[in-house]
Amino acid sequence: MHAFIPAVVSALALGVSATPSRHWWGFGKDFNGQCLSDDCANTVANNFKSLISDYSNGLADSVLTADYVDYSDSVNELINNGCATGHAPLGTATFSSRSQFEAGQGGQPNIPFEILNVWHSCDTVTMRWRSSAPGGSNAQQVTGIAVQQVVRNYNGGQKWLIKETFSEFNSGAWLADLNITVPTNCNAVHKRATLM
């Protein structure tokens, strides 16, 4: 048994020395640098920001995969105008392709979007963001979280493409900002809600 261990270690050492172009950066990294760097993660985050604040179909074509999927109950709630039932049931994909995203986002006005924080793993970018006035100059601020699952792009252009987005934000404030939901009890004495 003890003779077997050095043989295995020697075989592993030979395998590593036989492939000098491959590097191992530790946990969460893979060979040949196929993981997101800090710079690439920030580029992905800023690409997503631009999809919200300075949208164009050309931008969407260059930063999203063709089979892009977007999940957000917050957006579904906006699509449904705060109603319990509607066109976009909660728990379902908001957009199931890049072309659906383009049709939906392309019809919306650009929205102020500030990135507050960016974190990443090997293939995921998570950001915390804020929109100070999504519905106009007197609107309430809306804060949210967006997680992008990315894939390496070997066809030129962007190094990483967004394949899936999972996002949530304060859709109640956004509905009020758009005057879709107008609270009637804002001046009432507020009681702490009981959450179950």
Q: What is the pLDDT of residue 183?
A: 53
Q: Please state which of the ranges 11-25, 82-96, 116-130, 144-158 shows the lowest mean pLDDT.
A: 11-25
CB 72 within 8 A of CB 167: yes
Does residue 4 register a pLDDT over 50? no
pTM for the model stands at 0.73
What are the φ and ψ backbone dihedral angles of 136, each rounded to 5 degrees?
A: 135, 180
- Nearest one of 143, 142, 158, 157 to 41, comparing CA atoms: 158
What class is the 37-177 domain? alpha beta
Task: For residue 83, give both structure tokens.
Answer: 């109603």
Does residue 18 register a pLDDT over 50? no
Q: What is the pLDDT of residue 78?
A: 77
Give the angle 177-92-131 at the CA atoms, nearest 5°.
Answer: 25
